[in-house]
Amino acid sequence: MTALLDIDLGAIAENWRLLGAFAKSETAAVVKADAYGLGAARVGPVLARAGCGTFFTAHLAEAVALREVVPDARILALNGLAPHAAADFLAHDITPVLGSLKELALWRAAARGLERVLPAFLHLETGMNRLALTARELETLREDATLLEGIAVDTVITHLLAADTPEDERSQRQLQDFLAKAAQFPGARRSIAASPGIFLGPQFHLDLIRPGAALYGLNTSPAQPRKMQPVVKLSAPILQIHDIPEGVSVGYSGVWRAGRPSRIATVGVGYADGLHRTLSNRATAYFDDTPVPLVGRVSMDLATFDVTDVPANPGDMLVLLDARHGADELGQEAETIGYEILTSLGRRYQRRYLGA
């Protein structure tokens, strides 16, 4: 018996529409990491039919795969332009997000070789200190306009470092820094807001928003005015139920012992499937409308739940993720975030796509 992962594509499209209506800017879709683990090949076409014309991936390989299913969309690769990769970007009509003078030189050389102007997004550093053009590199660009010859700067972007904490003053400082730096590229669009930044207010929406996690039902910020539509339901059949006496342990190392005569249900989901080991003795599933605790260690392929107080039987389903207890809540139990829960979902589930 196989665990079932239901993914509501209609809810993802509705979340995209809600975000666009809220921000009133062009609304892109971030589908990196295989659409946060939910399947970019299925998510991409649904969003394209809903009206999305711009998609962000992290890597070029993700962008190339996405091109197969959204042939008419603009696709960008956030992680920049590696040496010798320009030909692949051009062959698949992928726009790079350039974050260094070296990357600009590579794209400029490609444009010169083709004798035409090539579009690009530029990533500007405002505080994250990961991938982006630094203040010194921007000064070099200001001093030497030839460094942008053959490149049409369509949009400049940056990334907020603390948008999930609305009271953090660094977001406002980043916005002002970004606007000042973006003025160096007159006519270029500006984009600063990924999912959490969208909910910081209209001053952060600018010309383009880049939702990712919010599309997939995650609550990305305390400032979020409404919950996104739930997208994922994960349910697993009970493989066996063991009746154990008080004092008997369950699972590796015996880290949980029954405090009473108990019924222990085993399901075929473990840390290889994205049920993190840190959820040992901490997670919650549901049998019908009743929560049941995970007890004992999560192992690679199995987890055990205390079903003493419910009329569960082998073959019945326990729900590990749904609207009541979603990736955000499971992430809290695992001492991580909902993003990691979604992107960790394994490939052994029977995936059912709904609402396409």
Instruction: State whether 21 and 46 are in the same domain.
Output: yes
pLDDT of residue 339: 96
- Report pLDDT for 224: 73
Question: Do 309 and 201 reside in the same domain of the chain?
Answer: no
Active-site residue, selected from the candidate residues 24, 32, 233, 349: 32
Rounded CA separation 82/124 (Å): 18
Residues 204 and 244 in one domain: no
| Whole-prediction pTM | 0.95
User: Residue 64: how many CA atoms within 13 Å on its side-chain side?
Assistant: 11
What pLDDT was estimated at residue 225? 65
**Active-site residue, from 36, 227, 233, 252:** 252
In this structure, the answer to whether residues 149 and 264 fall within a common structural domain is no
The widest CA-to-CA distance across the chain, in whole angstroms, is 79
Q: Any bridge partners for residue 241, and if so which?
A: 265
Count up the domains in the chain and report the number: 2
What would the two tokens of residue 97 be?
């997000």
Determine, yes or no, domain membership for 1: no
- Spell out, as residue ranges, where the chain has pLDDT lower than 70: 225-226
Residues 58, 200 within the same domain: yes
Residues 278 and 331 in one domain: yes
The 10 Å Cβ neighbour count of residue 202 is 12
Model pLDDT for residues 233-251, shown as the tens digit of each residue: 999 999 999 999 999 999 9
pLDDT at position 161, please? 97
Residue 330's domain comprises: 232-354
What are phi and psi for residue 49, nearest 5 degrees? -65, -30
Do 74 and 44 fall within a single domain?
A: yes
CATH code at position 36: 3.20.20.10
CATH code of residue 257: 2.40.37.10
| Domain end among 216, 248, 277 | 216
Q: Are residues 183 and 279 both part of a single domain?
A: no
Residue 222 lies inside a defined structural domain of this protein: no
Is 216 considered catalytic here?
no
Residue 32 bears catalytic tag: yes
Q: Are residues 193 and 293 in the same domain?
A: no
